[in-house]
Amino acid sequence: MERIWTDHLTVRHHECGPDAKLKLNSLFDYLQDAAAGHADHLGVGIQFLAEHRMLWVLSRVKLRIARMPAIGERICVTTYPSGPEKIFATRQYAVCDEKGELIIYGTSFWLLLDGAKFRPLKPLQHLGNALPANGDQIRYFSGLDKLEGNPAVSELREYTVSHSMIDVNRHLNNAYYAFFTNDALGMMSGAFRSVSEIQVNFNHSGALGDRIVCRGSLSSGCFYVDGRSPDGSVTFFQASGAVNDL
Amino acid sequence: MERIWTDHLTVRHHECGPDAKLKLNSLFDYLQDAAAGHADHLGVGIQFLAEHRMLWVLSRVKLRIARMPAIGERICVTTYPSGPEKIFATRQYAVCDEKGELIIYGTSFWLLLDGAKFRPLKPLQHLGNALPANGDQIRYFSGLDKLEGNPAVSELREYTVSHSMIDVNRHLNNAYYAFFTNDALGMMSGAFRSVSEIQVNFNHSGALGDRIVCRGSLSSGCFYVDGRSPDGSVTFFQASGAVNDL
């Protein structure tokens, strides 16, 4: 069993925006694919958990992005579990370029849920020692908290979760929250923007037909974006961070 | 120079839908990435053409899909230029599984345009013999014609081209037309559907902010979908084909 997982990838045309660099949602896809691949490898992937009526839910991610890789660039996406924090199982990410330089890194917080009651379970108790603790490895961020709402947000765009957005878990692919955030940054600044740091909190999964109203604010290079149901009763996600200068 | 181009890919989690099979738009991304990679390799890629004020425009694609590959499956995407047909340059595609079995194949028609006047140019005249004719290789489909409109279409959904949908050519990534078509099939049938055959005609590229109203019909397993501007004056794309039984 590999306690540290590495995907070797080449950045493809369709994954890039007009600057020929990896798009934010494609980065989120890379990270989730690596996490899913590793969980499968460790025997605690989607299929195993479904059979045992449990599921992994991504709760929070925080990333620092020194630079996005470009079309054709060969990169390594490394990920490893890094022990519990509060009720979460944590997992680290590192993206290195061909020279071995660390260009993106971050931390994710996951919940292991009871598939019937949707209550959080303690991963160590229910998965035994399937998840290596990797105590000797770097932990990039800790204490990924709830994000404060921002009263200054403007309403930007409404999305409807469509068939093509639904993933193997039968929910909106989480990377769409990065997609919506990138759209919001574009709309608020009137330009294609890239981010240097971002935290996304995944508060509620999107189902087919759900309508998600995105709102945001951008001030002094810092942004806050969220997506809620039209009546405001459900917050699907919140994102905050910093954009690069143009 | 490789006259036939092959990408070796492993189908990733985020590229699949709830049936754990490759999504239609992800297939279109695979094919376009392969074509773009081959064009780059042959010295007639985006960058070369931009410097010479020309551009490749994908006009028509027809595919037959015996089966979509599943998560984790290793596949080969093969593509090659296959000579001119009318004003088009043609390019063939074949997707094989690990056993070498041909699971998807098809043909695409491209236009080489004058970047200033947007007039079609003759590829042979302007690109010399950069494009191998591959006369010894299979041509899957010929005569990809204009698609007849269908008077029986129902209006389904309007999309707005957003920042995250824009590709390296600064246009709506063409694969979104497959994405919209798949959405239309889901809406018309009330289920996730897969297609056995599809032709997409790319009539007009989408720009940031464009609104695209999708309409469609589905009858006896055959579908027609198109996307037009709200006033109906511009048809962005048309798609027709057949769906698999549930």
The predicted-structure confidence for B114-123, as pLDDT tens digits, reads as follows: 988 889 998 8
CA distance A235 to A233: 7
The predicted pLDDT at position A194 comes to 97
- Residue entry with tokens 């010295």: B43
Most B-contacting residue of A168, A189, A243, A246 (CB-CB within 10 A), to test interface: A168
DSSP A85-148: ETTEEEEEEEEE-TT--EEEEEEEEEEEEETTT--EE-HHHHHTT-S---TTS--------PPP
B110 touches chain A (CB under 8 A): no
| pLDDT, mean of residues A88-104 | 98
Pick from A44-48, A125-129, A206-210 the range whose average pLDDT is largest: A206-210
3-state secondary structure A157-216: EEEECCHHHECCCCCECCHHHHHHHHHHHHHHHCCCCCEEEEEEEECCCCCCCCEEEEEE
CA distance B37 to B190: 37
Map out the domains of chain B as residue ranges. Answer: 5-127, 154-243
The predicted pLDDT at position A246 comes to 62
CA distance A164 to B29: 14
Mean pLDDT across chain B: 95
Residue B39: CA count within 13 A, CB half-sphere: 25
Structure tokens at B231: 């006033």
The predicted pLDDT at position B246 comes to 62
Question: In DSSP terms, which residues pair with A109 in a beta bridge?
Answer: A60, A90
B146 touches chain A (CB under 8 A): no
> Which amino acid type is present at position A162?
S
Check B167 against A36: CB less than 8 A apart: no
pLDDT band at A128 (very low <50, low <70, confident <90, very high): confident
Structure tokens at B199: 């032709």
Buried b (16+ CB within 10 A) or exposed e, B182-208: bbbbbbbeeebbbbeebbbbbbbbbeb
CATH of B154-243, one of 3.40.30.10, 3.10.20.30, 3.40.50.880, 3.10.129.10: 3.10.129.10
pLDDT tens string A49-82: 989 999 889 999 999 999 999 999 999 999 999 9
List the single residue in B with minimal CA-CA distance to A166: B17
Quick one: A3 exposed, middle or buried, by C-beta within 10 A (0-12, 13-18, 19+)?
A: middle
Mean pLDDT across chain A: 95
The predicted pLDDT at position A150 comes to 87
Residues of B in contact with A192 (CB under 8 A): 163, 166
The predicted pLDDT at position B4 comes to 98
> Which of A69, A58, A62 is CA-nearest to residue A23?
A69
Q: Identify whether the C-beta of residue B123 lies closer than 8 Å to the C-beta of residue B131.
A: yes
Using 50 as the pLDDT threshold, list the residues of chain B that sit under it.
none
DSSP B197-227: EEEEEE-S---TT-EEEEEEEEETTEEEEEE
CB-CB: which of B13, B169, B185 is closest to A33? B13
CATH topology of domain B5-127: Thiol Ester Dehydrase; Chain A (3.10.129)
Residues of A in contact with B173 (CB under 8 A): 14
Residues of B in contact with A169 (CB under 8 A): 18
User: CA–CA distance from B182 to each of A172, B200, B216, B241 (Å)?
Assistant: 15, 12, 11, 11
Which residues numbered 10-69 in A keep a CB inside 8 Å of some CB on B?
12-14, 16-18, 20, 23-25, 29, 32-33, 36-37, 40
Structure tokens at A35: 């996490």
Identical fold, A5-127 and A154-243: yes
Q: Identify whether the C-beta of residue B216 lies closer than 8 Å to the C-beta of residue B227.
A: no
B100 touches chain A (CB under 8 A): no
Structure tokens at B145: 């014609």
Which residues numbered 69-88 in B keep a CB inside 8 Å of some CB on A?
71-72
Structure tokens at A214: 């995105």
Pick from A112-116, A122-126, A175-179 the range whose average pLDDT is largest: A175-179
